[in-house]
Amino acid sequence: MTYPEIVLRTESLSKIFRVGFWSRPFTALERLDLEVRAGEVFGFLGPNGAGKTTAMKILMGLMRPTSGRAWILERDLGDVGVKREVGFLPEAPYFYDYLTGEEFLRFYGQLFGLGGAKLSDRIVELLAMVGLSEARRLQLRKFSKGMLQRIGIAQALINDPHLVVLDEPMSGLDPIGRKEIRDLILRLKQSGKTIFFSSHILHDAELLCDRVGILVKGRLIAVGRVNDLVGAAATQSIEAVVEGLDAEGLARLETMAEKVVAHGQRVLFILKGQGQVNEVLDLVRARKALLISLTPQKGSLEDLFVREVGRRHPGDLPQ
């Protein structure tokens, strides 16, 4: 099947809730304009309460927008048939925990009209893909958090969808569990899937995503390729470690570096930019010291996020 270039698109998508005794309006999502392209990993980022889950529920047909429209594979959200091309894992899924992993996937496969040998083969394939082949007959109530996330992703893939939507797939996982989910998302991309996932864990998104959108208080404040947004070519500072520098050399280094921290025979120092690197290297060689490391410090998604939130909503940053 040939898929359109734009797999998911929203136009001025908004959601307003009425809360409290006086039914005061609360804007959870404000005029969201977004495009997700075929074959990419798109990270939908923002702090807890930013409106990410609200947007995903609208896209999955679980909630109606107050205004605006959205399309999946160029078909309106009201088109039930497009759901066959979508796999979804909500943020806090509930699974009937007395089912085994195999029974769980068979149940969801049957909901899509699958059966027989085709479904059995698909279950074996998915359990192997998510690393749960040996747990196929284990009840879900005995699964760890990471295992539940992986079986949840497997159910989102049971219908072999083109678009995979994951709401906070790495939330609450330990470092090993997060790595397992990251590796799985990369394998899905390599197989040609389009992945749209939300997260407030910026480091994971930076490792995975082709493009990201940052949502704050229901508003999309930045969208684009990770390298473009963080300015990958711009080195913000240089961190270096030197060993065996004498007192005179250390005194000269303190006049050049932004920060110097001595610890025994080793000295860690930070330069403001690349301009002083050669001068410092000449100093290290002249004083017969040893350069242990030289590491450029570049911008990150976290830097971008803190900067943008601080500029637009300074009250949201920790004091």
Q: What is the pLDDT of residues 178-229, one digit of tens each?
A: 888 899 899 999 999 999 999 887 777 888 999 999 898 899 988 998 777 7
Residue 240: per-residue pLDDT? 85
* Average pLDDT of the residues in 1-18: 91
The residue type of 134 is E
Farthest-apart Cα atoms in the chain, separation: 79
Per-residue pLDDT at 315: 53
More confident residue, 110 or 238: 110
CA–CA distance, 70 with 32 (Å, rounded to integer): 10
- Right CATH number for 235-298 from 3.40.50.2020, 3.40.50.2300, 3.30.540.10, 3.30.70.100? 3.30.70.100
pLDDT at residue 300 above 70? Answer: no
Confidence of residue 112 (pLDDT cuts 50, 70, 90): very high
- The correct CATH number of 6-226 out of 3.40.50.720, 3.40.120.10, 3.40.50.300, 3.40.50.1820 is 3.40.50.300
Confidence class for position 116, pLDDT limits 50, 70, 90: very high
| Confidence at 301, pLDDT banded by 50, 70, 90 | low
Q: What is the pLDDT of residues 32-56, one digit of tens each?
A: 999 999 999 999 988 888 899 999 9
More confident residue, 136 or 232: 136
pLDDT at site 91: 87
Per-residue pLDDT averaged across 253-265, rounded?
83
Scored b (16 or more CB within 10 A) or e, 121-133 reads: ebbeebbebbebe
Give residue 233's pLDDT: 45
Q: What is the mean pLDDT of residues 148-164?
A: 94
Instruction: Check: CB of residue 302 under 8 Å from CB of residue 202.
Output: yes
Give 102's Cβ-side CA count (13 Å radius): 9
User: Rounded mean pLDDT of the chain?
Assistant: 87
Question: b or e along 11-37 (b: 16 or more beta carbons within 10 Å of the residue's beta carbon)?
Answer: eebbbeeeeeeeeeeeebbbebebbbe
Q: State residue 252's pLDDT score.
A: 85
Q: Are 218 and 28 in contact (CB under 8 A)?
A: yes
- Average pLDDT score over residue span 101-123: 95
Domain with CATH 3.30.70.100 in the chain: 235-298
CA distances from 109 to 91, 179, 181, 235 (A): 21, 27, 22, 50
Alpha-carbon distances, residue 300 vs 87, 144, 228, 230 (angstroms): 30, 31, 11, 6
The residue among 31 and 271 whose pLDDT is bigger is 31
Mean pLDDT, range 58-76, rounded to an integer:
95
Give mean pLDDT, residues 228-242. Answer: 71
Give me the percent of the chain exceeding a pLDDT of 70.
89
What's the pLDDT at 309? 64
Confidence of residue 298 (pLDDT cuts 50, 70, 90): low
Whether residue 40 contacts residue 185, with contact meaning beta carbons closer than 8 Å, is answered with no
Confidence of residue 282 (pLDDT cuts 50, 70, 90): confident
